[in-house]
C-alpha cells in the first residue's frame, strides 16, 4: 500500500493536487482512498472545523486534540491492506500550529509511533500569496488564516519538513502536478515498504483521547444544566 501525504498551509493548493493524484492512480485501476482533514464524516472533524472558526486559547487547545482524533480515526479505518493507495490531506504537519518547540517534539513522537512514508509532499507558498488566495475565496477566515499566523506557521513547518518532498507552489496547477508526478514515478519504481509501529498503539491513543473527550463532554453538559 502506498501512503501519500499532501500538506501545506491553507490556500497552497493541496486539495487540488490530492485529487489529481487520486485520479492518476484510479486511472490504472488502483483502489484509492482520499482523506481530507478536517473531515466531514465524524464528530471530531466537524468539531475541529467549528473550533477553527473561533478564537481563544481553549478553542486552540480543543482544535489540536480534535485534529489528532480526526487523523487517528482515518488511520484506524483506512490504513490497511484493503487499500492500494491512501492519500491524506494534512497529517503530521498539523503540529506546525502548535507553539514551537513543543510542536517539534510532538512531531518526533508522531514519526516514532505512527506510519511514515517517503511520499510526503509539502506545497510551499509564501504567506502573502496565501493571504491573497484566501481572501479571493470569499469565505469566512479561520483563526490561523491571517498574515501573522501564516508567517509563524510556515516558519515552524519548514523546521520539520527537511526530509519531505518540497514543491514550489507558486507555479501553475499543471506545473505543480508535473513536479509531483515526477517524484511519484521515481518512488513507485522502487521497492517500497511502509514504516512505523502501528495498530495496537494507535488503537490505544485513539481510545485514550476519545475517553478524555467523553468525560469532558459529560462535565461540560453537567455544568450547563
Q: For the chain, which domains are there? A: 2-224 (3.40.50.300)
Among 161-165, 183-187, 199-203, the minimum mean pLDDT is found in 199-203
Indicate the pLDDT class of residue 222, thresholds 50, 70 and 90: low
Among 50-59, 70-79, 104-113, 189-198, the minimum mean pLDDT is found in 189-198
Checking if the pLDDT of 216 tops 60, the result is: no
For residues 99 and 95, give the distance between their C-alpha atoms in angstroms, rounded to a whole number. Answer: 8
Tell me the CA distances in angstroms from 134 to 138, 141, 215, 220, one per residue in order: 7, 7, 36, 34
Indicate the pLDDT class of residue 199, thresholds 50, 70 and 90: low
What pLDDT does residue 109 have?
A: 76
Of residues 66, 91, 65, the one with CA closest to residue 78: 91
Query: What would the pLDDT profile of 5-51 be if each residue is shown by its tens digit?
Result: 999 999 999 999 999 999 999 999 999 999 999 999 999 999 999 99
48, 63 contact by CB (below 8 A): yes
Q: What is the pTM of this model?
A: 0.84
Checking if the pLDDT of 225 tops 60, the result is: no
For residues 106 and 85, give the distance between their C-alpha atoms in angstroms, rounded to a whole number. Answer: 26
Indicate the pLDDT class of residue 116, thresholds 50, 70 and 90: confident
What pLDDT does residue 217 have?
A: 63
163, 186 contact by CB (below 8 A): no
Query: What would the pLDDT profile of 77-101 be if each residue is shown by its tens digit?
Result: 999 888 999 999 999 888 888 777 7
Query: What would the pLDDT profile of 129-151 be if each residue is shown by its tens digit?
Result: 999 999 999 999 998 999 999 99
* Average model confidence (pLDDT) across the chain: 86
Amino acid at each position: 500500500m502506498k501512503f501519500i501525504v499532501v500538506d501545506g498551509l491553507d490556500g497552497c493548493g493541496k486539495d487540488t493536487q490530492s485529487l489529481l493524484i487520486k485520479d492518476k492512480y484510479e486511472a490504472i485501476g488502483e483502489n484509492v482512498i482520499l482523506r481530507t482533514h478536517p473531515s466531514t464524516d465524524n464528530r471530531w472533524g466537524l468539531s475541529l472545523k467549528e473550533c477553527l472558526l473561533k478564537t481563544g486559547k481553549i478553542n486552540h487547545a480543543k482544535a489540536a486534540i480534535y485534529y489528532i482524533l480526526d487523523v487517528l480515526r482515518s488511520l484506524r479505518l483506512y490504513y490497511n491492506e484493503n487499500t492500494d493507495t491512501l492519500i491524506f490531506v494534512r497529517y503530521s504537519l498539523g503540529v506546525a500550529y502548535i507553539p514551537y518547540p513543543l510542536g517539534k517534539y510532538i512531531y518526533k513522537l508522531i514519526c516514532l509511533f505512527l506510519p511514515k512514508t517517503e511520499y510526503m509532499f509539502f506545497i510551499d507558498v509564501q504567506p502573502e500569496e496565501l493571504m491573497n488566495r484566501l481572501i479571493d475565496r470569499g469565505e469566512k477566515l479561520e483563526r490561523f488564516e491571517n498574515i501573522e499566523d501564516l508567517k509563524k506557521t510556515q516558519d515552524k513547518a519548514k523546521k520539520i519538513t527537511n526530509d519531505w518532498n518540497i514543491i514550489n507552489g507558486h507555479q501553475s496547477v499543471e506545473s505543480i502536478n508535473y513536479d509531483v508526478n515526477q517524484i511519484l514515478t521515481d518512488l513507485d519504481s522502487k521497492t517500497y515498504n511502509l514504516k512505523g509501529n502501528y495498530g495496537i498503539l494507535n488503537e490505544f491513543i485513539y481510545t485514550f483521547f476519545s475517553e478524555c473527550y467523553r468525560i469532558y463532554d459529560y462535565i461540560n453538559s453537567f455544568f450547563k444544566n
